[in-house]
A and B are shown apart, each in its own frame.
Chain A
Amino acid sequence: MNENTNTQEKEKKAKGDELVFPIMALAFAIYYLYTILDLNWEAKVNGVLVGSILIFLIAVFLFRTALDWQRGKISLKFKTFVFNSGIQLTRIWFLLLAVSYVVVIPWAGFTLTTFGYLVAAMLLLGVRSPLRLFAVSLTLSVSGYLFFITLLKTRLPLGPVERLIDWWF
């Protein structure tokens, strides 16, 4: 009996993950509507229209999911966003490295930060050869400097490397 229940449970599609996006969208819609409460109708009308349609669509989606769950067709377990697998941890570290790239770049500048980020990210993703790490990161960051800063004159954050090159030439 117990085994049968377990098998049935396994056969059910885990739909908990699919609720993350609509709940996030619902939270945003409520926040949006809250921020326009005291505004004039001209500033409200679009938000009310789009927000109401969005909330209605999410309600339909949640209702359908609840029906399927009640009928035993699906379970509300999470399958994708489970943080105990190796790849999820790597992904979180990878994302944190990207966040630190954004935090450091105003001070260290484009070239140095890109070089450091590429070394760290490739190391995290399993590149172990020091020569490859160094060569690929250096090539990419120098190419980026030449293309974006020298050729296209893009306004990128400048750091010690860019200032040194400016001073030198």
Chain B
Amino acid sequence: MARTRPSQRRTDDLIPAAANGLVDRRAFLRGGAALAAVTGYALAKPAAAEPLKDDPWSRVPGETVGTYGLPSRYEKKVARTLSNPNGEPRTQHARTPHHLLNGTFTPNGLHFVISHAGNPDIDPERHKLVIHGLVKRPLVFTLDALERYPMVSRMTFVECGGNSAPLFAHDPIQATVQALHGLSSCAEWTGVPLSTLLEETGIEAKAKWMIAEGADAPALSRSVPLKKGLDDAMIALYQNGERLMPGNGYPMRLLLPGWEGNMNVKYLRRIKLVDEPAMSYYEARTYAPILPNGKAYRFYFVNEVKSFITHPSFGHLLRGPGLYEISGLAWSGNGRIAKVLVSADGGSSWAQAALQDPVLPKAFTRFRALWRWDGGPAVLQSRAWDEAGNVQPTRAQIVAERGQSARTPPVTAFVSQHYNGPTSWAVDAKGEVKHVYA
């Protein structure tokens, strides 16, 4: 179990911001003494009270540098969790370990993947992208051709519509933030704006939608409003500087910043402009959350404003009272994060968290807050606002509008989609962190 130790430094000058130990966020802005007083979230063991010496690795030349770097062998636990490790004939999920990462961008090997029939082994020289339907000139593009187009880069998250679904369970499931929220990741994507290619094909006046389809075994297809296609959609070729990972759509995917992950069609081979949506399997049947009146939402495009605390969270252990950094992730499919509040008393009082630069639209934003734990019970929670004025709903509001399960299904089940309420972590006197509803 990961452990964190409080700071031993003097922190008398920190200004309280909310009940149960939350410290004013301006401590971050002042820098200097206040900032230096904070150790932040530390996994290291305390320094031994004995003279320093050279360890064996300091006294011999190290390993030969390889062609493609991998993390230290001591970091093997920082890995995705797999729902279907033997590749049985059903969907596979690989979840991002948010509780073991920091910062805002997800390393490519840890980016979440949902694969409905395995990752196809696509030869990039033979892959083609066709744009046809209600266009003036149907065209086919090779990867080589797309490489010559003007490109753009943007940092943006991709989130499965079913991410956070365990929070619809009747009782709080004791699971890591990876299990609860690991179907969302953030990367720098680079590629060709779709609008550039649509200028080349031309668009018939009747076109209102586009059907995007992959070159994977199930030829996964989704209908996307053309309005989004002309807004900020991209044919993404690069992920954090290197070509897309096979699980993330190699050699090209449709990127729809801020919109439901499944619509960001991987292995993109076809875009057909049409006047009406296709009502494909995933939009007609799967990503249509059922409401308490038995009706279901259709086309839940946007991943709405969300936040959760990653440090500390379930699986972490706090070792004694003192000053800790609370940090977490916030994002919105509607734009930038405007504000994140954190509570240490289950939502009775709130302090404003510091937002770490850069705060980018439709991208992970890291928030940080200082908390002096007095060793007593605490319930930690965050709540985010986006620049469009949307606020993360309370769990009670979501349950009132969307309902909740009467059961507590396995943590890997998808009882509904698009949960964006809070996640609450209860810290007990032993420093253990549990998942609670508050």
Bound together: no
Measured CB to CB, the residues of A under 8 A from B are none
